[in-house]
Amino acid sequence: MASKSVRTVTQKGAGNAVERNRQKLISAAKNSSDTKVLKSGAVVTYTGKCTGRSPGAKYIALDNLTADYIDWKNNQKCSESEFLSWLDRVDEYESTLKEIQCQTLYAGRDERHQIELSVRTSKAWQALFANNMFVRSRKAYDSALDKWTIHCHPDMHDVPKVLISFVWKKIIITGTHYAGEIKKSVFTVLNYILTAEDILPMHCSVNTDRNGKNSAIFFGLSGTGKTTLSADSDRILVGDDEHGWSGRGLFNFEGGCYAKVINLGKDTEPEIWDAVQAPGAVLENVVVTDEGIPMFDAKDHTENTRGSYPIFHIPNASETGLCDHPDNIIFLTCDAFGVLPPVAKLSTEEAVQHFLMGYTAKVAGTEAGVTEPVATFSHCFGAPFMPRPPEAYADLLREKIEKHSPTCWLVSTGWSGGEYGVGERMPIAVSRAVVNLIMSGELSGCEFYTHEHTGLSIPKSTSDENLNKYLAPEHSWNTLNAYSEAAKKLMKMWANRLDEMEIESESKQ
């Protein structure tokens, strides 16, 4: 048996000690054989065959805590004995390693609703990723913490495997180098635990104004603009991906961001451009020149190129990760059919409906065999990470909307003037104009009407003349008949999905 050293980074302190430990991780990651270093100092790695999550790889252990509460139609199960067998294999594997990176981190910026994470990995760059993504220290607070251990060993097995046990409070990740599995497995754990505390866990970004008021939630699946639209230099970023809504307000689950960086531009997304290239950032599957310059428009490895960085890389990030209850809730969708208007106001019931649908669309070419836009529905905008039945989260959302009265919006960042391949992607400037008008309160004061083709409530006009050109989507198409047919097709998909969800809900009762 080989001798083994365990590099332990315990981050219960604050200030200089945490920063020194972080610098050690950065140095270790840069010196690893499986990484490159950008000219700017960021770390670049390639994740091999797994360039994204492996949806079929995740299993939750069936035990006395989970048997009656997990949505087993949406989650795969393994027996407790199977989990323990894998845990034995992990222990045996770790005993053969010469070095293990081990850190104590935290998930949840609100220390009243926080769990402790012991992250153990054989990859220095993945240890740095975890350090980027989770909370690096905590103040002394009189509360007992749930303590979880993550064993992440990509080379231990050839087949991707993610196993979660709520009894043993352990997560096992093997067979995949894609670091997103680490963050999403922790998200899954919080999504199960926090609902029992009357907290709504959300796959969303959150920001506030510079006074910490006028907060906004941005729901959306990957590629809809959650990270881009919440990283606004005129507002404070609370977090870009995972949050909880408690009786006290909103709180970030993480201490960092994980941005999709394909086609990232300095002019269009300057905050993210700088953040992903700062020392300590980790870039996955980004092509780099011999001179150490990233080529963000290259898709040689995957279109799902990613960058992780601590939230303090964003200059206007919240120091606390906490804010008040939301004034606005924005449901983002990338409508590749080119049917939806850039913005619509939603009633409470419509908001809950869109939350349950979680609609966006895949574009042609993203998957083998996909030759035209394909509607994608992911309940709660994060079905793979929601262990409980969708109604459990939807009921919490309805209760919180009714209690705190935010204004709810549907914002499409997808195509205009035709579907993908015919029309053009909604300009970022237009989507930002929509969000700015929402935040200022001006949009709520506009006159709205019911859109004939979608049934949505959309504004007749705004003070932004460029945005006004996009408000009625049918006006951008070559013919009204072509738009009408596309709208009927999409609305039928929505109706069918709502019918399916109603049937699924009734079958569980």
Q: Which residues are catalytic?
A: 53, 184, 203, 222, 226-227, 241, 306
Distance between CA atoms of residues 387 and 190, nearest Å: 10
71 is written with which tokens? 């949505």
360 phi, psi to nearest 5 deg = -150, -170
Query: What separation in angstroms does the CA of 164 have from each of 69, 79, 154?
Result: 15, 11, 16
- Show Cβ contacts of residue 423 under 8 Å, excluding neighbours closer than 6 positions: 338, 415, 416, 417, 476, 477
Query: What separation in angstroms does the CA of 117 have from each of 68, 139, 280?
Result: 26, 15, 20
> Phi-psi bin for 433: left (phi > 0), alpha (psi -120 to 50), beta?
alpha
DSSP 304-346: --EEEEEGGGSTTB-SSSEE-S-SEEEEEE--TTS-S-SEEEE
Unique residue bearing structure tokens 């048996």: 1
Q: Residue 151: in which H helix or E strand, if any?
A: strand 146-153
The letter for the amino acid at 337 is F
116 phi, psi to nearest 5 deg = -95, 140
The neighbouring-strand residues paired with 260 are: 306
Residue pair 160/134 in contact by the 8 Å Cβ criterion: no
Nearest to 361 by CA among 339, 346, 393, 341: 339
Nearest to 206 by CA among 249, 248, 247: 249
Nearest to 46 by CA among 365, 313, 300: 300
Residue pair 411/434 in contact by the 8 Å Cβ criterion: yes
> Is 425 strand, coil or helix?
strand
Nearest to 53 by CA among 211, 152, 158, 162: 162
208 is written with which tokens? 């506030």
> Phi-psi bin for 442: left (phi > 0), alpha (psi -120 to 50), beta?
alpha
Residue pair 470/476 in contact by the 8 Å Cβ criterion: yes
236 is written with which tokens? 């404070």
CA angle 243, 202, 127 (to 5 degrees): 55
